[in-house]
Amino acid sequence: MLRMTNISKRYGATEVLREVALEVRSGEVMALMGENGAGKSTLVKILAGIEPADAGTIEIAGEPVTIRSPRHSQAAGVAYVAQELSIVESLSVAENVFLGDTDAGLFRSPRSLSTKARPFLLKVGLEQVDPLELAENLSVAERQLVEIARLLSRKARIAILDEPTAALSDAEILRVKGAVRTLADNGCAVIYVTHRMAEVFELSTRVTVLRNGRSFPSIETASLTVDTLIEHMLGRKLEQMFPARATRMGESVVELDQCIGHGLLAPISLSVRRGEILALAGQVGSGANAVLRMLAGVLPVASGTMKLRGAAFAPHSIADSIAAKVAYCSDDRKRDGIFAVRSVPENLSAPALDRVSRLQMISPVMESRHTRGIAELFGIDLAYLTRLAGNLSGGNQQKVALGKWLGIEPDVLLVEEPTRGVDVGARAEIYRHLRSLAERGLTVIFASSDTQEVLGLADQIATFYHGRMVRVVSAESSTPESIVRDVIHPTLAA
């Protein structure tokens, strides 16, 4: 269906794509994989007409086509679902399904539009959603599914999905996966960009790997294992993804006694030791994040008591928790994790301005020493220090968002989704750095909906389901199945 050959693209001096080839058949799901910055996004944007290619040819159904704008691309039967969803919240679900569809006609009654939308919603598993409901009432996953329904309604011959599950929890991912299968079953050629290994193996028929702007011949998914795929992506053998667990842990540092806050339905009691990494495993809305937010001073504790280093701890603001050497990193890096328009050193010194200034003036010497210290501890390439944080790849942005907290020498680090939107290589690095910090006495509590990460990184795992803590188990005695059962349907667990 699609054949892209010799696609090249450069931005100034940087060559982003070099003679890349991509070929996809009708009815198959082609996974497009590669580290951040490997050129995946650029390649799909060229196909979607958002970026022009410098060289190369594109054939669709055997016909050479010229794609210079999104309009060309749509006319050629290509549909693109970007990472940032294009759902109009103030319109109904049905209107969103037919958004931009010129054939739908200008004046359609809501009822007829709704009748027309229903079969497409059915196909993506949204049969319980009222087509007349406003899109703002939908969850992120449901919006993602509406986008896929839109692809179906347009009878796209080629569908590009750019990380459709990046912001979803495991249960929601299941629905999106089902919808993607429907797309392929309808004869669509699907290009699926993702970081999640599990999806590649469940969904795709073949995998095309991009590395440093070059493509490699596609591989049948059936002939791959997780390890060989990672090797392909990194171009070398991957050292173990997860570091070893804690060997020794100290006294109890954080204690929660019968704590309740917004988002929790039952009181939580927990104890975390010095040097321990505790995972709060749960789907979106399970209450796992609420525990972190109470400790960070963002969410008021309705009842119960918290203790830090043996003393009562009741932070009323982030500033309070920072003063108590408790650092908190939310799951929305863009919103409150980094200063995109400021340089990396300015980002890294932001929580610790008093450590880099003397007599109320910032000392460039102290700031540079501070920055380099963090960069070394967290593996941030010194070459990035002159850049704006917003220009870094997702993995490096996350290192900046996490690394800046090392400046206050925290005792406790609270992290939501430590590796969201981070590629495999940087992910392993972040795990390694978190573990080595824990070995030096840092207590890490992280919330995650990624089962692999929960099992691999943590010493102890607290599982959450619908506002309640299910149990606390040691990571060693857990299996992926036991965790998933706890966080999806704990009543089935023994």
Partner 1 sequence: MSIMTDVSPSAARRRSVPRFVWVIAAIVALYLVAGVITPSFATFDNMLVIVRAASITGIVAIGMSYVTISGNLFALSAAALGAFLAVIFALAVGHLGFAAGLAATLLVAILAGMAQGLSISVVGNPIITTLAFSTVFRGLAALFSGNSIVRIDSDIALALGTGRPLGVPTQSWAFIALALVSWALIRRARLGRLLVLSGANPQTAIASGLNVRLATVVAFVALSVGVAIMAVFTVSQFSQAKADLFAGYDFDYIAAVLVGGIALRGGQGSPLQAALGAILIALLQNFMLLNGFTAGLRMTVVGGLVLLATGAFHLLQRRLR
> Which window, 84-92, 135-143, 285-293, 331-339, contacts partner 1 (CB under 8 A)?
331-339
* Residue 11 touching partner 1 (CB under 8 A): yes
Q: At its nearest, how many Å lie between partner 1 and the CB of residue 53? A: 13
Q: Give the total of residues touching partner 1 (CB under 8 A).
A: 55
Supply the minimum distance, in Å, between the C-beta of residue 257 and partner 1.
Answer: 26
For position 435 contacting partner 1 by CB under 8 A, the verdict is no
The answer to the question of residue 227 lying near partner 1 (CB under 8 A) is no
Strands (E), 275-348: 277-281, 303-308, 311-312, 326-329
Which of residues 34 and 164 has its CB atom nearest to partner 1 in the complex? 34
* Residue from 142, 199, 255, 429 in contact with partner 1 (CB under 8 A): 429
CB 400 within 8 A of CB 348: yes
Ramachandran region of residue 309, left (φ > 0), alpha (ψ -120 to 50) or beta? left
Q: Which is nearer to partner 1, 151 or 290 (CB)?
A: 290
Whose tokens are 């610790």? That residue is 352
Q: Could you tell me the smallest distance in angstroms from the CB atom of residue 42 to partner 1?
A: 7
Q: Is 376 in the site for partner 1 (CB under 8 A)?
A: no
According to CB under 8 A, which one of 75, 122, 266, 353 is a site residue for partner 1? 353
DSSP string covering 361-393: EE-HHHHHHHHHHHHHHHT--GGGGGSBGGGS-
Q: Residues 167, 322, 406, 458: which binds partner 1 (CB under 8 A)? A: 322
Phi, psi of 463 (to 5 degrees): -100, 145
Contact status: 84 vs partner 1 (CB under 8 A): no
Site for partner 1 in 301-320 (CB under 8 A): 318-319
Q: How many CB atoms lie within 10 A of CB 58?
A: 22
Q: Which of 65, 143, 339, 411 binds partner 1 (CB under 8 A)?
A: 339
Strand bridging mode 219-220 / 206-211: antiparallel
**Nearer CB in complex with partner 1: 317/474:** 317
Answer whether 276's CB lies under 8 Å from 269's CB. Answer: no
3-state class (DSSP) for residue 222? helix
Kindly tell me the burial class for residue 446, based on how many C-beta atoms sit within 10 Å of its own C-beta (0-12, 13-18, 19 or more): buried
User: Residue 219 has what DSSP assignment?
Assistant: E
Question: Does the protein bind partner 1 through residue 468 (CB under 8 A)?
Answer: no
Q: Give the footprint of partner 1 on residues 154-213 (CB under 8 A).
A: 211-213
Q: How far is the CB of 347 from partner 1 (least distance, A)?
A: 8
Alpha carbon distance 318, 296 (integer Å): 6
Please give the order of strands across the beta sheet that includes 14-24.
14-24, 2-11, 55-60, 63-65
Q: Does 391 bind partner 1 (CB under 8 A)?
A: yes
Strand 468-474 with 460-465, pairing: antiparallel
Burial of 135 (0-12, 13-18, 19+ CB in 10 A): buried
C-beta closer to partner 1: residue 39 or 164: 39
Per CB under 8 A, 346 contacts partner 1:
yes
Q: Which stretch binds partner 1 (CB under 8 A): 33-41, 143-151, 249-257, 450-458?
A: 33-41
Q: Tell me how far apart the alpha carbons of residues 24 and 158 are, in angstroms, rounded to a whole number.
A: 9
CA dist 279 and 12 (Å) reads 43
Residue 14 binding partner 1, by CB under 8 A: yes
Tell me the window of 167-175, 200-208, 247-255, 358-366 that interacts with partner 1 (CB under 8 A).
358-366
Task: State the minimum distance, in angstroms, from the CB of residue 340 to partner 1.
Answer: 7
Collapse the DSSP code of 244 into the 3-class scheme (helix H, G, I; strand E, B; otherwise coil) and give the result.
Answer: coil
277-281 and 460-465 strand pairing: parallel
492 binds partner 1 (CB under 8 A): no
Residue whose CB is less far from partner 1, 393 or 436: 393
Which region, judged by CB under 8 A, interacts with partner 1, from 83-91, 263-271, 423-431, 433-441?
Answer: 423-431
Q: Which residues bind partner 1 (CB under 8 A)?
A: 11-16, 35-39, 42, 211-213, 234, 318-319, 322-323, 328, 330, 335-342, 346, 350-351, 353-354, 357, 360-362, 379-381, 384, 387-388, 391-393, 395-396, 404, 425-426, 428-429
